[in-house]
């Protein structure tokens, strides 16, 4: 796709997105109502990046990512139709930016059927992510679930690192508001951050994780879970939730000590 006033051989150019590009970037998909807010967050967050792909004066795509420690996430990738060379170019530039900040492991959740650009950039599939909805949750009952307080912070960060193999402390600290923990005395056995993406729950056992799900489901009628999480899957199917594939987890670079059985809601 080339602007009619541009030469057919205009080179593809990758550069940081700016505030002046927001309207053109959002126009690529008018149905994406969260596009502007997502791009603004990446523009104004020090550990995030937003890139654009241009051919002449035509904006053909954009990609967003962030880094935390030695790992990084590809948060969003969108390109104009019939531009097969744009997505790999954006991903390659985003990976280069991540590696320049020391993030030698890169992760992404590719939409179903959209894995090819990631594979071309060296990402490998590590399993699917499921979306559960249209079920009936049980009411929360356990007094061990309390509001997340400052003294719980280090335990929350430690549990998250055990589950993901990543140091996501900066990102998590920005989303602690309205969080909850499952605490037995001074021991934090699980936590819920409802404001991080689609909600994040990490727990050390099914009893703890399923109880924390009961605090999230009244706020939103769905959950995202990694494929293979058998206790949570069996419980949700028993409550008549319907699973569907929402994406494929893709990883590139240095392997991470990922433990999906500790994750009871994926953000």
Question: Where along the chain do its domains lie?
Answer: 12-103, 132-246+256-265
12-103 in CATH: which number? 3.40.630.30
Residue 5 pLDDT > 90: no
Task: Identify the pLDDT of residue 195.
Answer: 94
Task: Identify the pLDDT of residue 167.
Answer: 95
Residue 182 pLDDT > 60: yes
What pTM, to 2 d.p., does this model score? 0.91
pLDDT digit string (tens) for 66-92? 999 999 999 999 999 888 899 999 999
Task: Identify the pLDDT of residue 2.
Answer: 42
132-246+256-265 in CATH: which number? 3.40.630.90
The mean per-residue pLDDT over the stretch 184-201 comes to 95
First CA to last CA across the chain, in angstroms?
Answer: 34
pLDDT digit string (tens) for 209-238? 999 999 999 999 999 999 988 999 999 999
Give the pLDDT band (50/70/90) at residue 190: very high
Asked if 47 and 54 count as a contact pair (C-beta separation under 8 A), the reply is no
The residue among 85, 76, 78 whose CA lies nearest residue 25 is 78
The residue among 34, 35, 59, 63 whose CA lies nearest residue 49 is 63
Share of the chain above pLDDT 90, in %: 86
Task: Identify the pLDDT of residue 3.
Answer: 46
The more confident residue out of 56 and 160 is 160
Task: Identify the pLDDT of residue 129.
Answer: 95
Asked if 180 and 191 count as a contact pair (C-beta separation under 8 A), the reply is yes
Share of the chain above pLDDT 70, in %: 97
Task: Identify the pLDDT of residue 81.
Answer: 86
Asked if 107 and 73 count as a contact pair (C-beta separation under 8 A), the reply is yes
- Which residues are 200's β-sheet partners? 193
pLDDT digit string (tens) for 9-23? 678 999 999 999 999
The mean per-residue pLDDT over the stretch 113-117 comes to 92
Average pLDDT, the chain: 92
Same fold, 12-103 and 132-246+256-265: yes
Tell me the backbone φ, ψ of residue 121, rounded to 5 degrees: -95, 5
Distance CA 141, CA 237 (A): 20
Give the pLDDT band (50/70/90) at residue 40: very high
**Cα–Cα–Cα angle for 195, 245, 89, nearest 5°?**
80
């Amino acid at each position: 796709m080339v602007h009619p006033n541009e030469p057919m051989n205009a080179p593809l150019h990758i550069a940081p997105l700016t505030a002046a590009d927001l309207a053109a970037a959002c126009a690529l998909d008018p149905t994406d109502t969260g596009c502007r807010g997502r791009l603004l967050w990446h523009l104004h967050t020090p550990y995030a990046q937003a890139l654009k792909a241009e051919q002449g004066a035509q904006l053909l795509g954009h990609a967003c990512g962030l880094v935390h420690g030695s790992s990084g996430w590809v948060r969003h990738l969108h390109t104009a139709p019939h531009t097969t060379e744009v997505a790999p170019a954006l991903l390659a530039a985003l990976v280069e930016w991540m590696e320049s900040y020391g993030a030698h492991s890169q992760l992404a959740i590719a939409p179903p059927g959209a894995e090819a650009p990631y594979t071309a950039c060296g990402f490998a599939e590590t399993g699917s992510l499921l979306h559960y909805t249209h079920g009936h949750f049980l009411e929360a009952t356990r007094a061990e679930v309390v509001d997340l307080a400052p003294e719980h912070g280090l335990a929350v960060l430690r549990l998250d690192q055990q589950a993901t193999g990543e140091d996501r402390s900066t990102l998590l600290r920005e989303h602690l508001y309205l969080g909850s923990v499952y605490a037995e005395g001074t021991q934090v056995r699980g936590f819920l951050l409802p404001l991080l993406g689609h909600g994040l729950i990490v727990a050390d056992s099914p009893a703890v994780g399923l109880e924390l799900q009961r605090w999230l489901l009244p706020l939103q009628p769905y959950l995202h879970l990694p494929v293979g999480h058998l206790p949570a899957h069996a419980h949700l199917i028993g409550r008549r939730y319907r699973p569907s594939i929402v994406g494929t987890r893709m990883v590139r670079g240095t392997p991470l000590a990922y433990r999906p059985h500790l994750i009871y809601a994926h953000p």
